[in-house]
Structure 1
Amino acid sequence: MRSYPPNSPKAAARLVALTMLADGHVSRIEAQTLERLGLPKAFGLSVEDLSAVLQGLCEDLLCSSQGDWCRPVVDAALINGLLAEVTDPGLRATVLRACVAVAEADEELADGECVVLMQAIQQWRVGTLPSLKAHPA
């Protein structure tokens, strides 16, 4: 897995990209949600930069899978490592809001998205999520 400087725009954006991939695919509505909310700019990135971070994450995940296509897209050790790259409280709040927006975008909260969000809450010691709509079962 490539590394980014702590609290860098790419480290923050990669956590959002991880949330986008956590359900096994990236949907158009997730990308549109990020653009609508101006999230690339909030991280100091262009839409193209955000796309490059997403592509890099996909490449890294493929390389690290070592042919094991049956394992989950994300695992606890990977998530914890990426969460550790963001230590600034303000940036953490922005990242968490973006991750929640991505998870809510398609109105279906997937297990992988829940894993990313819950680990962020636990590792970053967040009291509550910024907003999480109730999703039908």
Structure 2
Amino acid sequence: MRSYPVNSPEAAARIVALALIADGHVSLIEIDTLQRHDIAQRLGLSAEAFRDVLHGLCEDLQVQAPMAWTDPSRIDPRLIGDLIDDIDDPGLCAELIQLCRTVIEADHHVADGEALMLSTAFVHWHRRLSPQGASHRTARAA
């Protein structure tokens, strides 16, 4: 899997790209939504740089986690968690949840893979970033 600096525009774009492909395909409605909401620019990237991140994610997933694209819900939640770990800024986490929801809900249908991706991100970040999660991590480390 490609490595990006924590909280970088590329790491953030990879989360949105994961939401784009979570149902096994990228629809024209989702592409239009990306453009209408200036999602690449909001993440600090050009549209071309966002496409490069999306393309890189697809390549990495084919190598790291080959899956039957007829069943996109098979993306391993642990792999999703690993990608989500590249984001630890609470404000950016909240922004990414909103951007992912915008993309996922663009076609007025939430597929199983999309629901899995979004819920995994939400739960993962909530556990890592909430005060209770932080105290639980500190207690486990001691």
TM-score bracket for this pair, using the shorter chain length: 0.7 to 0.9
Paired with 1:32 and 1:16, the residues of 2 have a C-alpha distance of 14
Paired with 1:98 and 1:19, the residues of 2 have a C-alpha distance of 9
The answer to whether the 8 A contact 2:9-2:43 is kept is yes
Give the TM-score taking structure 2 as reference length. Answer: 0.82
Number of matched pairs: 125
Tell me by how many angstroms 1:28 deviates.
1.2
Tell me by how many angstroms 1:65 deviates.
3.4
* Aligned residue in 1 for 2:103: 102
* Aligned residue in 2 for 1:10: 10
Bigger Rg, structure 1 or 2: 2
Instruction: Report the secondary structure of 2:62's partner residue.
Output: helix
Tell me by how many angstroms 1:69 deviates.
3.2
**What RMSD over aligned residues (CA atoms) do the two structures have, in Å?**
1.6
* Aligned residue in 2 for 1:83: 84
* Aligned residue in 2 for 1:132: none
Question: Which has a greater percent of helix?
Answer: 2
Deviations 1:17-61 (A, max 9, x none): 001100000111111111111111111100001100000001001
* Aligned residue in 2 for 1:69: 68
Q: Does 1:123 align with 2:120?
A: no
Paired with 2:6 and 2:104, the residues of 1 have a C-alpha distance of 24
* Aligned residue in 1 for 2:45: 45
Paired with 2:68 and 2:35, the residues of 1 have a C-alpha distance of 31
* Aligned residue in 2 for 1:32: 32
Q: Residues 65, 119 of structure 1: CA spacing in aligned structure 2 closer, same or farther, 3 A cutoff?
A: closer
Instruction: Report the secondary structure of 1:125's partner residue.
Output: helix
Q: After the TM superposition, which segments of 4 or more aligned residues of structure 1 sit over 3 Å from their partners?
A: 68-73
Q: Can you give the 5+ residue segments of structure 2 that lack an aligned partner in the other structure?
A: 128-142
Paired with 1:65 and 1:100, the residues of 2 have a C-alpha distance of 24
AA partner of residue 68 (structure 2): W
AA partner of residue 101 (structure 1): T
Q: Can you give the 5+ residue segments of structure 1 that lack an aligned partner in the other structure?
A: 127-137
* Aligned residue in 2 for 1:133: none
